[in-house]
Amino acid sequence: MNQNLYAALRAGFPADLDAVAVETADAPAGQPFAPLLYTWGDLDRASARIANLLEFLELPAQSRIAVQVDKSVENLILYLAVLRSGHVYLPLNNAYQAAEIEYFIGNAEPAVVVCSPKNFGWISKVAFLKGTQHVFTLGEDRSGTLLERAAPHSDEHTVAPRAADDLAAILYTSGTTGRSKGAMLTHGNLLSNAQVLQRYWGWKAGDVLIHALPIFHVHGLFVASHGALLNGSKMIWFSRYEPKATIARMAEATVFMGVPTLYVRMLGESSLNRAACSKMRLFISGSAPLLTETFQAWKERTGHTILERYGMSETVMLTSNPYHPKDGERKGGTVGFALPGVGVRVRDDQGAECPRGEIGGIEVKGPNVFAGYWRMPEKTREEFTSDGWFKTGDVGVIDKTGRVTIVGRSKDLIISGGYNVYPAEIEGVINDMSGVAESAVVGVPHPDFGEAVVAVVIAQPGATLNADSIISTLKARIANFKVPKRVFVQSELPRNAMGKVQKNLLREAHQGLFA
């Protein structure tokens, strides 16, 4: 049987291909709003055209197709086209700047790059210099050369046969050493996870998903889109998140997925109440810790208990609070149970499995676990135990009933508004600035983003540094969500007797900054 993920998603489409699959809920920036309706047949035919274009280009097997565009339904269709053509989809956050893009393109060597028309000038230059043969453009308003070039191709296409362990996507995820690694996900990883979630979260006929997340990360691209597509469920599609507008569409929807910031922002709206959510069946949160205050406030205001789950780029989803009462209660502050078929364990520093109730490093095994880091066999080996479990870098505890709670991270990582920021990467960029001796980057509590990035910078002897100009230099070099919200120029960093920077002291010193 063809294990191509598209074949399985396509099998989930409803029999009536003229039914609406996606309805847009906002307009491209600066344009008047008129909803666009895409039927299931449209998704199939439009992805066939792009898949035929990719085949016409006679790309080497398993070519990487790197995509950095603004969110649109055509972007989703492009993803489906890459799947069905058997190539490898490589989504890139649209906040990434030139140096970041240069690294990804150099590392992944994509045969095709698709970018926003506004970025064609600089991205095509980078891509052609790195050996990419084809650069297409795709605007959020359906403009650009990708659709123009695909238009003459047939809207019928035979899905390329793929095995479960063939590569479907590469997702770059930063590392503690500062350099991003490409997590290789297979058709089997993605399909097995989507099928498990379909059952575990009780997807059913008549479900309608509000899709308000970006589609360049696991949460929006895989968890949300796959859920709806596999179940043949309509999506109400926001190209950017707007809390008021999201609440206004809940009367037509049953499922919502978001990072905690999305929930916090909706709680700030007076229109959020029980009546607005009366048709909703399920609210899901993940990608960052959901504060118990948010969990509680949501329950009080809407009558709904948010279901929190836990995932990673390398493993897709690994644990979830239950949907069905028979599987247990949804508990705030916990990430629930290992998903069916997924193994989760906690081990101490010596490698011994922790007894229930004791804290250790979370490890995972199962059909959801990725195939390794792209062209980094050493890194891959380092992240797996000798008996084949993947080390998440998260620290947690499993209770007697099997429920997992994340209590911290052994990796130096900040999660801001659901985006990951690795301090080592930011420190590297700051340290390269002239006049900088050293720096330390930490995350501190932030009411909107959960954690905010803060940098402490030390000048070289005789140099004068200015916090604002450090911030503006960073804005030109790294994605905006990684840029510290505040920079402090100090005379020294706190260090312990071994000379190691005591980041905990910096966190304590600045923890009230955004209170």
Nearer to ligand MCA, 384 or 481 (CB): 481
The listed partner (ligand MCA, ligand AMP, none) that binds 409, CB under 5 to 8 Å by sort, is ligand AMP
The listed partner (ligand MCA, ligand AMP, none) that binds 308, CB under 5 to 8 Å by sort, is ligand AMP
Token digits of residue 178: 């500062």
Figure out which of the listed residues 115, 209, 218, 430 binds ligand MCA, where binding follows CB under 6 A.
218
* Maximum separation of any 2 CA atoms in the chain, in Å: 73
Q: If binding is defined by CB under 6 A, does position 213 make contact with ligand MCA?
A: yes
Q: If binding is defined by CB under 6 A, does position 181 make contact with ligand AMP?
A: no
Q: If binding is defined by CB under 6 A, does position 311 make contact with ligand AMP?
A: yes
In whole angstroms, how close is the CB of 187 to ligand AMP at the nearest point? 19
How buried is 242 (Cβ within 10 angstroms: 0-12 exposed, 13-18 middle, 19+ buried)? Answer: middle
- Give the Å distances, CA to CA, from 158 to 55, 83, 226, 253: 11, 12, 20, 33
Q: Apex CA 246: angle with CA 242 and CA 249, to 5°? A: 150
Nearer to ligand MCA, 236 or 259 (CB): 259
Helix (H) or strand (E) holding 301: helix 292-302
Neighbouring C-beta atoms of residue 355, cutoff 10 Å = 11
Nearer to ligand MCA, 172 or 203 (CB): 172
Distance of alpha carbon 165 from alpha carbon 371, whole angstroms: 8
Distance of alpha carbon 140 from alpha carbon 127, whole angstroms: 21
Residues 240, 241, 242, 245: is their CA dihedral positive or negative?
positive
Q: If binding is defined by CB under 6 A, does position 287 make contact with ligand AMP?
A: yes
Q: If binding is defined by CB under 6 A, does position 289 make contact with ligand AMP?
A: yes
Figure out which of the listed residues 311, 360, 361, 366 binds ligand MCA, where binding follows CB under 6 A.
311
Q: Which residues inside 430-459 make contact with ligand MCA, applying CB under 6 A?
A: 449
Q: If binding is defined by CB under 6 A, does position 174 make contact with ligand MCA?
A: no
Token digits of residue 160: 């390329």
How buried is 248 (Cβ within 10 angstroms: 0-12 exposed, 13-18 middle, 19+ buried)? Answer: middle
Q: If binding is defined by CB under 6 A, does position 334 make contact with ligand MCA?
A: no
Nearer to ligand AMP, 232 or 258 (CB): 258
- Give the residue among 246, 245, 247, 211 at the shortest CA–CA distance from 226: 211
Residue with tokens 């393109």: 105
Residue with tokens 């362990």: 165
Nearer to ligand MCA, 220 or 366 (CB): 220
Q: If binding is defined by CB under 6 A, does position 223 make contact with ligand AMP?
A: no
Nearer to ligand MCA, 215 or 440 (CB): 215
Q: If binding is defined by CB under 6 A, does position 394 make contact with ligand AMP?
A: yes
| CB 236 within 8 Å of CB 208 | yes
Distance of alpha carbon 72 from alpha carbon 53, whole angstroms: 19
Site stretch for ligand AMP (CB under 6 A), options 38-46, 127-135, 189-197, 303-311 = 303-311
Q: If binding is defined by CB under 6 A, does position 241 make contact with ligand MCA?
A: yes
Q: If binding is defined by CB under 6 A, does position 261 make contact with ligand MCA?
A: yes
Q: One symbol per residue from 265 to 294: x for binding ligand MCA (CB under 6 A), - otherwise; what is it?
A: ---------------------xx-------
Relative to beta strand 307-312, strand 255-258 is unpaired
| CB 181 within 8 Å of CB 206 | no
Nearer to ligand AMP, 307 or 457 (CB): 307
- Give the residue among 303, 268, 284 at the shortest CA–CA distance from 210: 284
The listed partner (ligand AMP, ligand MCA, none) that binds 418, CB under 5 to 8 Å by sort, is ligand MCA
Token digits of residue 236: 């109400």
Q: If binding is defined by CB under 6 A, does position 320 make contact with ligand AMP?
A: no
Nearer to ligand MCA, 480 or 496 (CB): 480
Distance of alpha carbon 292 from alpha carbon 462, whole angstroms: 47
Q: Which residues inside 404-423 make contact with ligand AMP, applying CB under 6 A?
A: 406, 409, 415, 420
Q: If binding is defined by CB under 6 A, does position 418 make contact with ligand MCA?
A: yes
Residue with tokens 């804005």: 475
In whole angstroms, how close is the CB of 314 to ligand AMP at the nearest point? 7
Enumerate binding residues for ligand AMP (CB under 6 A).
173, 218, 286-289, 308, 310-313, 335, 392-394, 406, 409, 415, 420
